[in-house]
Amino acid sequence: MRQLTVISGKGGTGKTTITAAFALLAENKVMVDCDVDAADLHLILNTKIQQTEKFYGGRSPLVDPEKCTQCGTCTDLCRFDAIKDGLVDIVSCDHCGLCVYGCPEDAITMMDDHSGNWFVSQTPYGPLVHARLGIGEENSGKLVTAVRKKASEIAEREGRNLVIIDGPPGIGCPVMASVAGVDMVLAITEPTLSGMHDLNRVLDLCRHFQIPAKVCINKFDINPGITDEIEQACQEKSADVVSKLPFDRCVIDSLVRRKTVIDHPCGAVTGRIKAMWERIGAELA
């Protein structure tokens, strides 16, 4: 089983648009949306949820009012001022558990937090594993690991030989959880100063994990000068530029219709994405 992760140093580069196109072009695959903080791949792929599971990403203190004497020990111990008079302010709480160990009445216990949900859905193009992290919840890296594990289980059970991962933007914990152990990373960038800066960080991350990285420059023609700089930087970092996609408002039209650029063809964009997949698919085979 081979694994491909599509990532970007910043949001809005077209990562999910390209991943959705790959979902149609690739065969015998499982798809995963690891952008658990803002998952949107399911919006394009016409999903039908088959399985829903709760995700418990952390633990928070819970006070037993029958045992609590309101002695104030926990309040004195908490440097975040998150507990007072037997009440816990979850927003301020750092979930460290010091109040549990310091309580003389054993009135406080750490309870698992329901931080979000993950789903297994069917699409016209194969299974999709995706998730929704609760607002303000942490441990998105753990949720990414959970959905990737489920996707691998489905691939093994159904004899599918490819997992395509739509990763989150940036280089933080959820991104590292999305790329660890994969066979290839495709980094999507755009010809802007922030796009070039964040691409360099992504490529450094891939080099750290010793993962082969390919690069796609989306909307390359809106700033040819920076496109040339990106290509030079990729050459210096031994990252192949496998495609340069032109700007086309048709792509926006396809997304508004909740279709991929394969279902709703967009001229040169569609043709170049197909050619890019042929090249990447051949290397993953």
Residue 216: per-residue pLDDT: 98
Residue 133 maps to a domain: yes
Residue 90: per-residue pLDDT: 86
Q: Are residues 196 and 258 in the same domain?
A: yes
Nearest CA to 168 out of 274, 9, 276 is that of: 9
Q: Are residues 194 and 266 in the same domain?
A: yes
Q: Are residues 191 and 100 in the same domain?
A: no
Q: Are residues 124 and 237 in the same domain?
A: yes
- Looking at 76, 106, 136, which one is the last position of a domain? 106
Q: Are residues 256 and 211 in the same domain?
A: yes
Range of the domain at 181: 2-56+116-284
Residue 144 maps to a domain: yes
Residue 137: per-residue pLDDT: 78
Low-confidence ranges of the chain (pLDDT < 50): none
Q: Are residues 170 and 146 in the same domain?
A: yes
Residue 136: per-residue pLDDT: 75
CA distance 213 to 255: 27
Q: Are residues 25 and 76 in the same domain?
A: no
Nearest CA to 21 out of 216, 231, 154 is that of: 216
Tell me, yes or no, if the pTM score tops 0.85. yes
Provide CB contacts within 8 A for 101, sequence distance 6+: none
Q: What is the CA radius of gyration of the chain?
A: 22
Q: Are residues 198 and 220 in the same domain?
A: yes
What is the domain-level CATH number for residue 155?
A: 3.40.50.300
Residue 9: per-residue pLDDT: 85
Count up the domains in the chain and report the number: 2
Q: Are residues 80 and 51 in the same domain?
A: no
Residue 111 maps to a domain: no
